[in-house]
Amino acid sequence: MITVAFVVFEGFQSMALAAMSVFEYANFSAAETLYDVRVLSEGGHTLRASGGLSVGTEAFDERVFDTVIVAGGDSILEQAPDTVLDYLRASTRTARRTASICSGAFVMAQAGLLDGRRATTHWAYARQLQERFASIKVEADRIYVIDGPIWTSAGMTAGIDLALAMVEKDHGAELARSVAQKLVMYHRRAGGQSQHSALLALEPKSDRIQTVLGYAREHLAQALSVEQLAQVASLSPRQFSRAFRAETGQSPARTIENLRLETARQMLERGRLTLDQIALETGFGDRRRMREAFLRAFGQPPQVIRRNARHEASA
């Protein structure tokens, strides 16, 4: 049985504990107790999370845990309690892996656990983390990063992806998929996937433009001209272009390229299709055009992004 400790503090973000459900459902799916999960704090008192939820905890002691996960929270961005830092430093000598969710990376950094390592955190805090702790290689656009025994994740929901990756590492991909299905997750994100969603960033106001975006997402392999999209919206091409830019702040062409880039990157990270197949299925047409688009958007060619994703998986 694998023991897991979630380390919390007064004012922590309760969403971090959503990752506990992954281990709970791993036990349920396997019909046996694969994980024993505890919530620990400095004094073992009932703590109040930032959203008002009260959580009972157990005190730090000499117990050894296989996995230690630090929650995030604004209350510890500047300085976490010394007892928490001391506990983490001691636990890394006995734990197989130590992890953080969201701004919990700041606690890990304050304890010196991220020195010289690759790490990530919520995109809104990434620059601050890099400026304060120059020895860390902050990868600001990752869902999670694994560097040896140290695991770090982005925003709170990324903690679920992190926990699923742990389950897959411990017990295989089939169990991780079963857990993701029970949690009704659309898909399980790879660590190298971007924290940002092209569709989420647009926020169109009308059903008409939302319908166009849904259509485009489902037909990326097609040319998707302005005339074709305008027909879906039941507008003239000129009316459609004006309405689209007014609602999204982008031209239709830019949006379609962003959707193609996001989808192609997800396919690369899953590693199932060749570059030629991905280029065709996402509408780039050929590897050259896809490579040029990746260099503009990410500063890296598709091969490097795929290699990084495979490195994460093997780590």
**CATH number, residue 255:** 1.10.10.60
**Do 229 and 140 sit in the same domain of this protein?**
no
Residues 6+ apart with CB under 8 A from 266: 190, 193
Statement: the pTM of the whole predicted model exceeds 0.75: no
Contacts of 259 (CB under 8 A, 6+ apart): 198, 199, 213, 216, 217, 220
171 and 40 both lie in a single domain: yes
Are 152 and 205 part of one and the same domain? no
**Residue-wise pLDDT tens for the chain (315 aa)?**
999 999 999 888 888 888 999 999 999 999 999 999 999 999 899 998 888 889 999 999 999 999 999 998 888 888 889 999 999 999 999 999 999 999 999 999 999 999 999 999 988 888 899 999 999 999 877 888 999 999 999 877 888 989 999 999 999 988 988 898 888 774 445 444 444 455 545 666 788 888 898 899 889 999 999 999 999 999 999 999 999 999 888 899 999 998 999 889 888 877 778 999 999 999 999 999 999 999 988 888 999 888 877 766 665
Exactly one of 102, 111, 138, 143 is catalytic; name it: 102
Q: From 38, 31, 33, 1, select the one nearest 17 (Cα to Cα).
A: 38
Is 6 within the bounds of a domain?
yes
**Domain boundary, last residue among 182, 211, 234:** 182
User: Same domain, yes or no, for 212 and 121?
Assistant: no
Question: Does one domain contain both 24 and 142?
Answer: yes
CATH of the domain at 138: 3.40.50.880
Residues 19 and 166 in one domain: yes
Q: Domain count of the chain?
A: 2
Same domain? For 41 and 172 the reply is: yes
Among residues 117, 151, 148, the alpha carbon closest in space to that of 134 is found at 117
Domain termination site, one of 127, 149, 182: 182
Confidence at residue 267, expressed as pLDDT on a 0 to 100 scale: 86
Determine the Cα–Cα distance for residues 54 and 261; give it in Å rounded to an integer: 42
- Is residue 74 located within the same domain as residue 156? yes
d(CA 142, CA 152): 10
**Residue among 54, 61, 59, 60 nearest 44 (CA):** 59
Alpha-carbon radius of gyration of the chain: 22
| Domain boundary, last residue among 182, 211, 238 | 182
Residue 231 lies in a domain: yes
- Determine, yes or no, domain membership for 193: no
Tokens for 281, please give them.
């299925």
What span, in angstroms and rounded, lies between the C-alpha atoms of 108 and 24? 25
pLDDT of residue 95: 96
306 carries an active-site annotation: no
CB 120 within 8 A of CB 105: yes
Domain range for 251 is 198-314
